[in-house]
Chains A and B, each alone.
Chain A
Amino acid sequence: MEFNKEVDATGLNCPLPILRCKKGLSEVEASQVLKVISTDPGSVKDFNAFCVQTGHELLQLDQDDSTFTFYIKKRSN
């Protein structure tokens, strides 16, 4: 999947992946896609909750062993 920016949050624990994701989203334009890589198993539920509450769109989640890769499309406004 194509993306505009990548954030590596591997090895980090709650709430750091979300905070890094938020920072990454502030550095891309509306409707652009941010890729976030995390190894925190709790981040799967948390990223869903983050997107539901903020209006950003979780396009895709890839899981590979213990690595989770999120593709998040920044909300347009």
Chain B
Amino acid sequence: MAKKLALIASKGTLDWAYPPFILASTAAALDYEVHIFFTFYGLTLLKKDLGDLKVSPLGNPAMPMPVPMPNLLQMLPGMESMATMMMKQKIADKGVASIEDLRAACLESGVKLIACQMTVDLFDFKTTDFIDGIEYGGAATFFQFAGESDVNLFI
């Protein structure tokens, strides 16, 4: 019987979009059955347009910067866009997959993507903004699969 992986994706930034999609696509390649439950800011990762994903150096002292920069400067307008642009360039230069590609790989290999219904209601998200082929559910839906999974991760 196939092993099972249950993930919770709770973050909606460009950098934190990677772990759930990398782990899910790889697990699927290893013949795992995979479910990802997207909650709160993680729901952003289900939008049709992923172009808005950003990374912020603010409050992230471990983020490698070309020159050391005090926190006070990182809050200036344009810094977030600049950091995002630099990150995207680095991703392309190093042959790292785009989030779009990894998400497509997940869908192609049968990874089940579940949107938290409560968060959709809370933030007044429009389901038409999300990609097709996803499901909507709540905590109990997550546990139905997570309870019988071999690996459970909260990201």
Contacts and interface: CB of A to CB of B under 8 A. Distances in A.
Interface of A: 11-16, 18-19, 21-22, 40, 50, 53-54
A54 B31 contact: yes
B96 interface: yes
A15 B30 CA distance: 12
Given A11-B95, A13-B94, A16-B97, A50 B30 contact: yes
Contacts of B96: 13-14
A42 to B, nearest CB: 12
Q: A-B pairs with the 5 shortest C-beta distances?
A: A22-B29, A15-B26, A13-B95, A11-B95, A13-B96
A31 B58 CA distance: 52
Interface in B8-33: 22, 25-26, 29-31
A15 B31 contact: no
A19 B26 contact: yes
29 contacts: A11-B95, A12-B95, A12-B97, A13-B94, A13-B95, A13-B96, A13-B97, A14-B22, A14-B96, A15-B22, A15-B25, A15-B26, A15-B29, A16-B95, A18-B26, A18-B29, A19-B25, A19-B26, A19-B29, A19-B105, A21-B29, A22-B29, A22-B109, A40-B95, A50-B29, A50-B30, A53-B30, A53-B31, A54-B30
A12 B92 CA distance: 10
Decide if the interface of chain B is mainly helix, strand, loop or mixed.
loop
Contacts of B97: 12-13, 15-16
Contacts of B29: 15, 18-19, 21-22, 50
A22 B29 CA distance: 6
B127 to A, nearest CB: 29
A53 B95 CA distance: 25
Contacts of A15: 22, 25-26, 29, 97
